[in-house]
Amino acid sequence: MDVYGLCLGGNVFGWTADREDSFAVLDAYVEAGGNFIDTADSYMRPNMGISETIIGEWMAARGNRDSLVIATKVGSDGGLSAANIAQHVDESLARLQTDRIDLYYAHKDVGDVPVEETVRAFDQTVRDGKVLRVAASNVPPDRLVESLELSVREGLAAYEWLQPHYNLLERAGYERDYAPIVERYGLSVAPYYALAAGFLTGKYRNQSADGAAREGMVSKYLDDPRGERVLDVLDEIAITRGVPVGAVAIDWLRAKPGIVAPIASARTVAQLDGILPTFTLDPSEITKLDEASA
């Protein structure tokens, strides 16, 4: 797929961004050249499906569906059984007001459904014309390989993309367990939490983080000595380049093998402006970030 270098995360739509703000962010993203939007049938609990609904209403209002690549997911709500996939794909299509999903992810695989059942169910969505390509997110490495091998052996629709948890402060799991699979099977990668829940934008630091940050998702980064090291290097590069700190963190991901479009979300147009890809890091800058985050 021909996609923009930043995939816009839709998890905030209808959650921390209301309909009006969501439309504004989506408009600004497209105006910047973006075409790749990621959501899920479970975004955002407890109001599941609201993100897909807002994206669907926006596409209908703008008449731009054919110029976009829409990714959504199934499995976080109800699992990856054939029956659940068959039901949820139709529900996602209805909320998105579209006749096909460009990229359909297995959102979460907890191992309670045989791999073959899930793979054949995804294959059926492709054969039915409801889905163009299938992909995997939180699928354990062994089950991911089993799925890929089955698809090749049986001529079924195979996972083409991987959406892993990967950023400057979350490297080991992906690089150890998934990068070899990506290389072997030629998968395209769209990492989530590209900005480590906002920590890599520089807005949370040990000396300034508020109580909510310390109790939330970034708390572990505040206490990790690598956190300050990485932020110092990000600051240095951002100042030299004249670009936002978050954009540097995202471009580090884009420099890694197989990474096509890191995923990041924005509640406002101002936040979006801080993460759009407008430059390319040079090898020495990448090395500095590699060393700081090791």
Q: Is the bond preceding residue 114 a cis peptide, omega within 30 degrees?
A: no
DSSP state of 192: B
Chain CA centroid to CA 50, Å: 17
Residue by residue, what is the 3-state secondary structure of 255-293? CCCCECCCEECCCCHHHHHCCCCCCCCCHHHHHHHHHHH
The answer for residues whose C-beta is within 8 angstroms of residue 4's C-beta and 6 or more apart is 33, 34, 35, 36, 261, 277
Active site residue 43: yes
Distance CA 282, CA 272 (A): 23
65/60 Cα distance (integer angstroms): 8
Are the C-beta atoms of 214 and 207 separated by less than 8 Å? no
The residue type at 50: I
CA 5 to chain centre: 12
Question: Of residues 4, 29, 43, 221, which has the active-site annotation?
Answer: 43
Q: Is residue 26 a contact partner of residue 58, using CB atoms and an 8 Å limit?
A: yes
User: How many angstroms separate the CA atoms of 241 and 265, rounded?
Assistant: 23
Query: Which active-site residues does the annotation give?
Result: 43
